[in-house]
Chain A
Amino acid sequence: MRIFIVEDEPKLARLMADNLQRYGHEAVIAERLHDLKQEFLESGAGLVLLDVNLPHFDGFYWCRQIRTVSKVPIIFVTARGADMDQVLAVEHGADDYIVKPFSLDVLTARVRAQLRRAYGEYSGDSADSTGVRLDPLRLRASWAGRSVSLTRNEAVLLEALLAASGRVVSRQRLLGVLWDEREFVDDNTLTVNVTRLRRRLDSLGLGGAVHTVRGEGYRLELP
């Protein structure tokens, strides 16, 4: 799914785009900040990340403009967290909002949540060279013809481990991807979810693939 990024700070836009691409999305960075509606239409994007503070017209204006031609999910990106809330975002026609400075994990999670909500079935999955396939939107993992459904937590853990391609992933990093904005997790949650993930992988025939590296984190070793 293509994502249209409207952010007037080029480095920030680049970072967002790179990160989304790493997670299997296609990203387009807006270049014509005075003509976003047209550029959005040309991009054919399925989701918009829209900075609120823009030259010419603000994000609220462009959100209304895009809404006249499209129903794609729009996520506001704003530096003034205290002035923004869900109600205001929705009032202006957006589906969600992210406050700067945000983390890339939060960005990915929000984008996914909106894609899942808006497109459900339609999704692209990421494949690993070892043959383990993970569909982070539908929360399914498959290997050697077998497939298993995962919880959100199990899926993000597996994704982080797959992305490291065999290297150790620190507990801190895993706690970062597990971060839940409502129910805050701790070390114990991580341990519990790793145990659950091991059980799921076991049912795929990948028992023992997740190794504990004492004092550091976890490592995924695929046959």
Chain B
Amino acid sequence: MKPVDYVLDRIPLLLAFAGATMFLLLVVHLAIAPLNAGDVLYLLLLALVTTLVILGVDYARHRAFRRELLARLAAPSAAPIGNPASREQRAVAELLARVQARHGSELGALREQAEHHRTFMDLWVHNMKTPVAVLQLTAQEPGDGAWQSVAEEAGRLAEGLETMLAAARLERFELDLHPAMTDLAALVRAGVNELRSSWLLADMYPRVVIEGEGASAETDPKWLRVVLRQLLGNAIKYGGPGQHVTISVSADELRVSDEGEGIPASDLPRVFDRFHTGRQGRHRTASTGMGLHLAARICEHLGHGLRIESIEGEGTTVTVSFHAAGVHRLGDNAERFGA
């Protein structure tokens, strides 16, 4: 705090002191003994010097606290403010400390609660996987008919559980990140196989194109698999019987192209928004608007780019680029989740 600010804060006090001095001089002049100009000047000078000394001492006394206060203001921190010189400053310091303590414990409780919630979700989803697996296996027994719809619904449940698991894990992404040179062909095949029953039920065919055998990229295989699963899930959901979904991988990117109904141009800019279901989604109960949002968030964390191109009635292509670093980003609205 500059001395100027200090003085400005004390203007009412100084004015009062000046008024009192003038009044005192007037009273002495009129009622006790007439004062000449020299006396008045001398007394005023005396009052001024006294005031300056008092102000100086007071300023020095309060300076340490003020300095800390301002430092804390510039860079808020949790440390208590020391060196209070007056009762008021002590009260302010005390208040801050108390607010801090209270928020601290509240925050701790919330964090603990969130952690419990995540652990619970994780456990719960894993526990739910077994009943879903039993359902899916039972529905595979020869018999068709009604079992087919059981299989479809079980597939939907499985997909929902995966999304939930991914969403819960995304909140502590940093702790759950294990980047490694990843064999992309193996990852894509595993991802396609995981959805085996969905492909069969939808009567759709995956086509895997590996550009350069042994193509690998620096990524987190687990998270990339989650992204792939979301993209494949969408391609199957919005595709039709007999259609192919092409998954092409190279060391630079992973591309999922479908021959589905496509996304209207008006919906494209918002497909990565959370809970956005678009025109197509609103006609389908299975849409949560979480899939692409999750994929985008994960890619953002991984430092990969994610972009989507779609022509209504012809199909959609979603591309994950491993070395995004701004290359494709210029002027591409859908690319705003790129690294």
Q: Are B137 and A184 in contact (CB under 8 A)?
A: no
- Of B79-87, B202-210, B301-309, the one with at least 4 CB within 8 A of chain A: B202-210
- B331: interface (CB < 8 Å): no
Q: Is B113 an interface residue (CB 8 A)?
A: no
**For the complex, what is the distance from the CA of A104 to the CA of B189, rounded to whole Å?**
19
- A106 nearest CB neighbor, chain B only: B196
| Segment at the B interface, from A7-15, A62-70, A129-137, A193-201 | A7-15
Residues facing A in B194-235 (CB within 8 A) are 194, 196-197, 200-201, 203, 205-208, 221-222, 225-226
User: Is the CB–CB distance between B206 and A101 below 8 Å?
Assistant: no
Q: B140 near A103 (CB under 8 angstroms)?
A: yes
Among A15, A16, A184, residue most surrounded by chain B Cβ atoms (within 10 Å): A184
The answer to whether B140 and A104 have CB atoms under 8 Å apart is yes
Number of interface residues of A (CB under 8 A): 33
- Give the contacting residue for B200; candidates A82, A83, A176; CB below 8 A: A176
State how many angstroms separate the Cβ of B131 from the closest Cβ of chain A.
Answer: 9
A186: chain B residues within 8 A (beta carbon): 205, 207, 244
A147 in the interface (beta carbon within 8 A): no
Interface residue A214 (Cβ < 8 Å from any Cβ of B): no
- The CA-CA distance from A170 to B194 in the complex, in Å, is 22
Is residue B129 within 8 Å, beta carbon to beta carbon, of the partner chain?
Answer: yes
Indicate whether A187 sits within 8 Å of B194 (C-beta atoms), given known contacts A176-B200, A182-B189: no
Selected contact of B136 from candidates A82, A83, A101, A163, CB within 8 Å: A101
> Would you call B133 and A103 a contact (CB within 8 A)?
no
Instruction: Give a binary string over B114-140; 1 marks a CB under 8 Å from any A CB, 0 the rest.
Output: 000000000000100110111011101
B144: Cβ under 8 A from any A Cβ: yes
* B12 CB within 8 Å of chain A: no
| A182 to B126 alpha-carbon distance, docked (Å) | 27
Within the assembled complex, what's the spacing in Å between the Cα atoms of A149 and B108? 69
Residues of A within 8 A of B (CB): 9, 11-12, 15-16, 19, 79-83, 99-106, 163-164, 170, 172-173, 175-176, 179, 181-182, 184-187
Contact with A along B140-157 (1 / 0, CB 8 A): 111010000000000000
Distance, CA A184 to CA B138, complexed state (A) = 24
Closest CB-CB distance, B146 to chain A, in whole Å? 14
Decide: A12 and B244 in contact? CB cutoff 8 A: no
Total residues of chain B contacting the partner, CB 8 A: 34
Is B242 close to A, CB under 8 A? Answer: yes
Most chain-B Cβ atoms within 10 A of its Cβ — which of A81, A163, A175, A179?
A81
Chain A residues near B197: list those with CB within 8 A: 103
- A132 CB, min distance to chain B CBs, angstroms: 19
A15 CB contacts on chain B under 8 angstroms: 134, 137-138
CB distance from B86 to the nearest CB of A (A): 61
| A19: min CB distance to chain B, Å | 8
Chain B window 92-129, contacts with chain A (Cβ cutoff 8 Å), 1 for yes, 0 for no: 00000000000000000000000000000000001001
* CB atoms of A79 and B189 under 8 A apart: no
Query: Do A101 and B192 form a contact, CB below 8 Å, given A179-B200, A185-B205?
Result: no
Contact of B133 (CB < 8 Å), options: A12, A82, A105, A179: A12
Given known A15-B138, A163-B142, contact A181–B129 (CB-CB < 8 A): no
Contact A187 B196 (CB under 8 A): no
Tell me whether B158 is interfacial, beta carbon within 8 Å.
yes
User: Is B134 a contact partner of A11 (Cβ separation < 8 A)?
Assistant: yes
Q: Are B133 and A101 in contact (CB under 8 A)?
A: yes
- The answer to whether A100 and B225 touch across the interface, beta carbons within 8 angstroms, is no
B126 touching A79 by the CB < 8 A rule?
yes
CA distance A103 to B136 in the complex (A): 8
Chain B positions within 8 Å of A80 at CB level: 126
Are A101 and B129 neighbours in the complex by a CB distance under 8 Å? yes
**Cβ-based interface call for B193 (8 A):** yes
Neighbour of B203 across the interface among A99, A103, A163, A172, CB < 8 A: A172
Once the chains are docked, how many angstroms separate the CA of A87 from the CA of B133? 25
> Is A181 in contact with B193, judged by CB distance below 8 angstroms?
yes
Find residues 175-202 in chain B having any chain A CB closer than 8 Å to their own CB: 189-190, 192-194, 196-197, 200-201
**Assembled-state Cα–Cα distance A179/B140 (Å):** 14
Name A83's closest neighbour in chain B (CB-CB): B222
Could you say which of B129, B189, B200, B203 contacts A100, with CB atoms under 8 Å apart? B129
B225 to chain A, nearest CB (A): 6
